[in-house]
Structure 1
């Protein structure tokens, strides 16, 4: 019995090979037919079949016209299904739920509006036109519009400030709006005229009605914009003054402190009130109100809105980051939650000093109207400043650019914007110390 040779001179079968294909070493040792004399058919037959592979769709195929057309058809079908689910058509509950889930998947999320953005949105329900009382200027041509905001349980026709002031200021147009009816907690839930709800007088900051603040602010902002537009249409400078008592004083402060720079309030007067949203003030405060003159008057014996709350609000407005520069605070001995003739006389004196019939314009005045010559000069100065700024920038850029380029070899700089193989990067003719300075 002859011994079996270790190496067979014939080509092994596919089952004798453990790997899917024979290695080069096995091929050289096992078959003498490999080489120039081997036929392609014989060599291929000696190999096992290659494993099946799945061809992945390329990005080009996904963006082909057929794929895009299919995507459009699917999108249209989903849109029709969504419309059917939202309309009065009879759709099975399961199909409607499925369409709603798809709608939620594709619905884009939007950033919620901030408090100050909500205040400047249009109101859902404007102020009642029949509740806005107007006293035109005695001279017939007003230069200032004063908006008077009443307190809790009052209405626009109360007009406490108008009783004596129109004769003293014949250039002022007086406008007194009326709030909506609300179920007020401190009035045992009864409906009464109010700008917002109050839960308790002992602590006015307990569970503040921020929603009521925002809604009333939207209504007042619309009224302010209408009065401002009335003056602009007449070719006048829009000058708006706000006055308020109690709840009206709180809304006056809120309107003044949140007014945008283009709608800045001329001046504000508040009586027997408090500062609303004291904790959120940093969020809603407008820097344009920092130089607005504000007069705050309060009775020392006020049983509803205490003097302590008023002093807390004044302290908040007088210190950083608010730091109002023209805030005046005055108290009255023995005065309760009401007003007196002495107080109204002080209001008239302050009004005359801070809201003149004709504004004395200055270069720093935000409402300063430039003449054509002044406008051209200001434009020329701005262009010169811009040219100087660009000149400095051009002088600084080359130095920075030279510093950055000096840190990179020239050959690497040459190929910085295209793909270069690692061999090219390593042997690109760069010698040690060959840098560009």
Structure 2
């Protein structure tokens, strides 16, 4: 069946034809690519068309599709058993590896998704501080739990839905929204509710409104404010964890949070999440403490074995990060040269192996800036790239992800496609 035929059938049985909104390709006015097979840096769809893949399952495939160590781990896990509902030694090994890799955390609890991780971390922070309100930032996406779908990024931003129906006002009222990279907005918020704020949660490198890093002064100020007011600082590293560095954002950005949330990459591509923090905070979690959180498949042996294999490989092969950096820098420099040659004022952001080309002349610091992007132009660009065999995010407000499997040939073909696509897009406007 063609992608269009599959999508038409999917729409009969699945809301919108997809199980996660951005996959619908709605914001680029397209039909979803139905994936059939992945191999290295390439993806093949149900029509047998082959693409260089810069989605990489939205980040976790840092080694590319079908890496031998991942295949081996999946086979081994299936031979031993995929789920027991009991502890396994794999959970212990995984927790030890994560704690040892991430500065400032002492314990970690495994869950099954990034949404579950952020939701649980906030519950623990509230229990620890005995306060109810939280601060999040415009354009930061932390999953689809009720209290966090307020001026969110990712799919909510893509579809211009800063909030979602079905969320009681009583829950929304506990979420305070500040401006990313604007410390004064946080100071004002804390001054208004000096004894009520349990936690500040943010993406230290925002990756769900495109790649927008928090600046150093902003992060340092948040850390100082949290220390001063006994507020729990939570880093959402569902996308950036183990991707920007083996030691994640604390090593890369130099700020250590009180808690952290993981997802995606720690499962090697399988469904997984985790949250961790200082011992006195994590001891609030049941059965050690009174804050309840549970999950039958949390720490399941399939995800643990595969995730352990990937994280161990990354630990033992630091050259992966060197290759990623070199590849991403090459792509960044090449795209910037193209923009300069064509006299296009678009904004190009890169943080390690994450990249976004913003179709705006407005310098990007936060949510208001990304809203100036020309999404119609991005849709044209996306389609041109797709026609040339390059699969990038089907949304202006997502990242491109590089993997260790991307080759020099892949990068050069991508740059040729970028040049051709930008020329065609702008020629079509002048016709």
Please classify the TM superposition score into its range, dividing by the shorter chain length: under 0.3
Compute the TM-score of the two structures, normalised by the length of structure 1.
0.21
Compute the TM-score of the two structures, normalised by the length of structure 2.
0.21
Higher relative contact order, chain-length normalized (CA < 8 Å, sep 6+): 2
